[in-house]
Amino acid sequence: MKKFLGTMTALAVALSASAAMAGVYVSGPLPSEFTNLVPSLSSGFIPPNPDVFKAVSKASKEGSKLAGGLSKCFSKGAKSVSKGSASGVDTCINDAKKGVLTKYFAKIASIASKSPLPACHNFALDGNLIRVLTKTFNPQVYCQSPSGAFIDHAGF
Each residue's pLDDT tens digit in the chain (156 positions)? Answer: 555 445 555 545 444 444 445 578 888 888 877 776 666 666 788 888 999 999 999 999 999 999 999 999 999 999 999 999 999 999 999 999 999 999 999 999 999 999 889 888 899 999 999 999 999 999 888 887 666 655 555 444
| Phi/psi of residue 85, nearest 5 degrees | -100, 170
Q: What is the per-residue pLDDT for 54?
A: 93
Please state, in angstroms and rounded to a whole number, the distance separating the CA atoms of residues 35 and 92.
Answer: 34
Maximum C-alpha span of the chain: 87
Helix, strand or coil, per DSSP, at residue 146: coil
The pLDDT value recorded for residue 148 is 60
DSSP 33: G
Q: What is the pLDDT of residue 101?
A: 97
Instruction: Give φ, ψ of 45 to 5 degrees.
Output: -150, 160
Q: What per-residue confidence (pLDDT) applies to 143? A: 85
pLDDT at res. 36: 67
Instruction: Specify the pLDDT at position 30.
Output: 82
CA distance 118 to 57: 11
Query: Cα–Cα distance between 51 and 102 in angstroms, integer?
Result: 25
The secondary element (H helix, E strand) that includes residue 106 is helix 100-114
Q: What is the pLDDT of residue 17?
A: 47
Q: Rounded to whole angstroms, how far apart are CA atoms 117 and 123?
A: 8
**What's the length of the chain?**
156
Amino acid at 129: L
Q: With 0.85 as the threshold, say if the pTM is over it.
A: no
Backbone angles phi, psi at 28, to 5 degrees: 130, -175
Spatial CB neighbours of 54, under 8 Å, sequence gap ≥ 6: 115
